[in-house]
Amino acid sequence: MPFWDEELQEETMISVNETDIKRIEQAVNGRLPARYLEQIREQNGGAPEAMAVMVEFENTWSDEETGLHLPLRSMSSLTFERYLDELSILREWDVEGSVMMFAEGEGSYFWYFHFTEAAEPTVWCLDISDETTHFVAATYDEWLTKLSTDVPEVVMSEFVLLTLPEIKDILRGDDENEKLLAYSHWMILDEEQEELVEAFMTLIERNDHPDFLDSYAYYLMEVLTNNPELLEQKRADVTALILSKEDDLDAEDILSRIDDEEEF
């Protein structure tokens, strides 16, 4: 099975900067897996052929009846700036140690390397829908064996997945971490997405906390790239907003995510 989606194989991607690889490896005090680097040098980020990762633990996305798995939507482009941006997301959810995010699924599941004294990093998943982390594989090569294109029908637990009224009730509160979690559930529900975009834009405009700004900007890009019509309508306003916050955000990297998605 090819790793990258065959429909995207002919797309021109920005080449990996070998200096960025060295900077990241110095930052994590470890070596990136050889197979991972081979794939990223072939195509620097984007949609893989596989749509799911089979796992052995209970989670908020699937159950034993349908087959325990978590979604896989895209691989991150490998740049030092993006490494720093995604590291801030991991830190925000209390993921410590030498880590690097490399993929995500449906806005709530983030796959990352954890570097130790071992020759290769282990692979973990951060699930922000219930604020948990899970060990997935001892190596990247083992993680690859868990990928699947045959995705069972997802059965979401009503107890875990908040309804829109419940989400909006939480958003009226003052706890920023609970509000971030509520927004991630709203993204999964895929309801009233234009209102969600407006909410993220307001939060970005009014917020001056770097970590929360990064998260809201990341979520905003996720919603827009999943809704092409909204992206078309909001592109100019969103671009102006992100650029107005460039002292607190890596505006160029954030806006490049829109361009990357459009290329796909």
pLDDT in tens, the chain (264 residues): 678 876 655 444 678 999 999 999 999 999 999 999 999 999 998 889 999 999 999 998 988 887 899 999 899 999 999 999 999 999 999 999 999 999 999 888 999 999 998 889 999 999 998 899 999 999 999 999 999 987 665 444 443 578 889 898 988 888 877 888 888 888 887 789 899 999 888 988 887 776 677 778 878 888 888 888 888 888 899 889 888 887 777 777 777 766 654 443
DSSP type of residue 69? E
Within 10 angstroms of residue 97's Cβ, the number of other Cβ atoms is 10
Q: What angle do CA 123, 127, 129 make, to 5 degrees?
A: 175
Q: How far apart are CA 237 and CA 71, in angstroms?
A: 31
Q: How far apart are CA 185 and CA 167, in angstroms?
A: 7
Q: Are 14 and 252 in contact (CB under 8 A)?
A: no
The span from the first CA to the last CA of the chain, in angstroms, equals 20
Q: How far apart are CA 133 and CA 26, in angstroms?
A: 24
Chain CA centroid to CA 47, Å: 12
Residue 10: what pLDDT? Answer: 46
Residue 256: what pLDDT? Answer: 76
Whether pTM exceeds 0.75: no
Helix (H) or strand (E) segment spanning residue 36: helix 34-42
Residue 264: what pLDDT? Answer: 39
Residue 55, SS3 per DSSP: coil
In this structure, is the dihedral angle defined by the CA atoms of residues 151, 157, 158 and 159, taken in order, positive or negative? negative
Q: How far apart are CA 245 and CA 25, in angstroms?
A: 29
Residue 217: what pLDDT? Answer: 83
Which of 194, 189, 191, 171 is closest to 181 using CA atoms?
171
DSSP type of residue 48? B
Chain CA centroid to CA 230, Å: 20
Domain 6-148 carries which CATH code?
A: 3.40.1580.10
Give CA separation, 19 vs 15, 25, 80, 115, 178, in Å. Answer: 12, 10, 9, 19, 38
Residue 160: what pLDDT? Answer: 57
**Edge to edge, what strands does the sheet with 122-127 contain?**
74-75, 98-105, 109-115, 122-127, 132-137
Residue 152: what pLDDT? Answer: 60
Buried-exposed string 227-236: b where 16+ CB fall within 10 A, e elsewhere: beebbeebee
Residue 162: what pLDDT? Answer: 80
Chain CA centroid to CA 221, Å: 11
What letter represents residue 245's amino acid?
K
